[in-house]
Amino acid sequence: MNINPTSGKPLYEQLMFGIKQDILLGILQPGDKLPSVREMAQRQLVNPNTVAKAYKVLESQEVIQTVMGRGTFVATHSETRQIDARQLKKFKTQFKELMTEGMYLGLTKNELINLINEWYGGDNSGVKD
C-alpha cells in the first residue's frame, strides 16, 4: 500500500483503497487486527486524523470493525452485508464515466471488457491483453 500525496486523491481514500485491496488479495484475513491509528499514521507518513477518518468510513461500510479498547479488525465477510443502493448508484455512475474515459484513450469496448475479465479472474483463457 502506497500513499501518494500529490495524486490529487484524498489521502483517506487512498488508505481505504489500500486496505480493501489487501483484504481482497488475502494479505489481510477476516479477523486480522489492523495497525492502530497512530501506528498506521507513522507507517504511511500521514496525519493520525487522516487514518482515523479512513477507519471510520471503512467501518460504516462494514469492511472493518472496531472493538472498543481492543482495536480494529477486518470484518468477517460472511455477515449479512446488504448492498447500499446509494453506493451502488454511485458506483455505476463512476463506472460509466470511467468507461467513457477509456474509450477516449483509444481503448475499444472489447478491450475494456477484457480488462474486466482479467480482474475478475476466473476464465482468462484467450483473453487479449
Partner DNA sequence: GTGGTCTAGACCACC
Partner DNA sequence: GTGGTCTAGACCACA
Binding-site ranges for DNA (CB under 7 A): 5, 10-13, 34, 36-39, 46-50, 52-53, 55-56, 59, 66, 68-72
Give the separation between CA 70 and CA 21, rounded to whole angstroms.
24
Residue 21's contacts (CB-CB under 8 Å, 6 or more residues apart) are 1
Shortest distance, position 38 Cβ to a second copy, whole Å: 20
Give the separation between CA 55 and CA 63, rounded to whole angstroms.
9
Give the SS3 label for residue 37. helix
> Is residue 36 a contact point for a second copy (CB under 8 A)?
no
Give the SS3 label for residue 38. helix
Select the residue interacting with a second copy from 29, 32, 43, 91 (CB under 8 A).
91
Q: Which residues of this protein are in contact with a second copy, per CB under 8 A?
A: 5-6, 8, 10, 17, 20-21, 24, 60-61, 63, 65-68, 70, 81, 83-84, 87-88, 91-92, 94-110, 112-117, 119-129
